[in-house]
Amino acid sequence: MAENYRAVNYKAELVGVLGDPVAENPTGVMQEAAFRATGLNWRYLTIQVKPDDLADAIKGVRAFGMRGINLTIPHKVEVMQYLDEIAPDAQKIGAVNTVRRVGDHLIGENTDGKGFLRGLQVDAHFDPAGKRVVILGAGGAARAISTELALAGAAELLIVNRTKQRGEDMVNDVRYRTGAAISYIPWKETYVVPPEVDLLVNATSIGLYPHVDDMPDVNLERAKPDLLVCDVVFNPVETRLLRAARERGLPTLDGLSMLVYQGVIGFELWTGRDAPEAVMKAALKEALGIE
């Protein structure tokens, strides 16, 4: 009988995402496609975790020997206290959206801003060094994006936000952590984008499905002809803001770019392999019904 024995490993390596809500998070679609394309026996689990259960969930990550996880709302800040180490850039951002395992250690990373930055450089061919940037919003996405743009050498960052306290707190924190030239602008009425701005980023959820007819209250009439307009919203891919920008002949970058590249970076952190970017993007487009 011994000559018929074959050594087979049926154990799949596990990664996943923890969030609440999380059912509509499409990250698993592109990661599973990447695992298939690279021949890896890995699985991506989409797991709903209530805020009060996060500590137990991280214990589960350790107990299951999971190779890594993503964090989404509302866990990106709270999770930091349960990890063994936080990467320097994630420390600067003050939030973690990706965890990787090294031995028995769980290390917190943030790929949101890096994904946005890679999209700027690769898809839009835009170098933020020395540029003036306006970011709409002061939430987690705005914090990650502004931090990475500051570290990439942006000349000036302007944070436009409705809530004064939140906007000022974020500005002060990013300035302290990065030394950036960053300031807060109250968003009390229509924000008119000035002609000296090189990059406009909607880092709010305005325009996200099902509110597809909503648009940030901005005016692009004074914008310079080559102002790059970006949106972190990926569903729909063409938001009203991007449509308005294109109607004025302005270059744009959609939210699918950031979503794909943060996933690409996560794949590479977990597996140590080059990610199949085209496969991941195609899988997301199919899942979201984008042609």
If asked whether residues 83 and 189 sit together in one domain, one would say: no
| Amino acid 63: pLDDT | 97
If asked whether residues 245 and 266 sit together in one domain, one would say: no
If asked whether residues 106 and 9 sit together in one domain, one would say: yes
Yes or no: say if 280 and 287 are a contact pair by the CB < 8 Å rule.
no
Rounded CA-CA distance 72/232 in Å is: 14
- Residue labelled with tokens 């977990």: 270
Tokens read off for 30? 């592109």
Digits of tens for pLDDT over the chain (291 positions)?
556 667 778 899 999 999 998 988 899 999 999 999 999 999 999 999 999 999 999 999 999 999 999 999 899 989 999 999 999 989 989 899 999 999 999 999 999 999 999 999 999 999 999 999 999 999 888 999 999 999 999 999 999 999 999 999 999 999 999 999 999 999 999 999 999 999 999 999 899 888 999 999 999 999 999 999 999 998 888 999 999 999 999 999 999 999 999 999 999 999 999 999 999 999 999 998 887
If asked whether residues 185 and 233 sit together in one domain, one would say: yes
| Amino acid 4: pLDDT | 67
If asked whether residues 262 and 243 sit together in one domain, one would say: no
How would you classify the pairing of strands 228-231 and 199-202?
parallel
If asked whether residues 194 and 244 sit together in one domain, one would say: yes
204 lies in some domain: yes
Rounded CA-CA distance 96/36 in Å is: 27
User: Read out DSSP for 51-119?
Assistant: GGGHHHHHHHHHHTT-SEEEE-TT-TTGGGGGSSEE-HHHHHHT--SEEEEETTEEEEE--HHHHHHHH
Among residues 231, 291, 229, which one has the least CA distance to residue 259?
231
105 lies in some domain: yes
Yes or no: say if 252 and 273 are a contact pair by the CB < 8 Å rule.
no
Among residues 49, 88, 92, which one has the least CA distance to residue 69?
49
| Amino acid 73: pLDDT | 86
| Amino acid 139: pLDDT | 87
If asked whether residues 246 and 130 sit together in one domain, one would say: yes
Which spans in the chain are helix H? Answer: 27-38, 54-63, 88-93, 112-122, 140-151, 164-178, 240-247, 255-271, 277-287
| Amino acid 150: pLDDT | 96
For residue 157, what are the domain limits?
125-250
If asked whether residues 153 and 238 sit together in one domain, one would say: yes
117 lies in some domain: no
If asked whether residues 228 and 203 sit together in one domain, one would say: yes
If asked whether residues 147 and 236 sit together in one domain, one would say: yes
CATH classification at residue 37: 3.40.50.10860
| Amino acid 274: pLDDT | 97
Q: How many other CB atoms sit within 10 Å of the CB of residue 257?
A: 23
73 lies in some domain: yes
115 lies in some domain: no
| Amino acid 191: pLDDT | 98
196 lies in some domain: yes
271 lies in some domain: yes
If asked whether residues 20 and 103 sit together in one domain, one would say: yes
CATH classification at residue 159: 3.40.50.720
Q: How many other CB atoms sit within 10 Å of the CB of residue 130?
A: 11
If asked whether residues 148 and 243 sit together in one domain, one would say: yes
Yes or no: say if 16 and 42 are a contact pair by the CB < 8 Å rule.
no
Model pTM above 0.85: yes
Number of domains into which the chain is organized: 2
118 lies in some domain: no
Show which residues are catalytic.
Answer: 76
Q: How long, in residues, is the chain?
A: 291
| Amino acid 249: pLDDT | 98
Helix axes 112-122, 255-271, angle to 10 degrees: 120
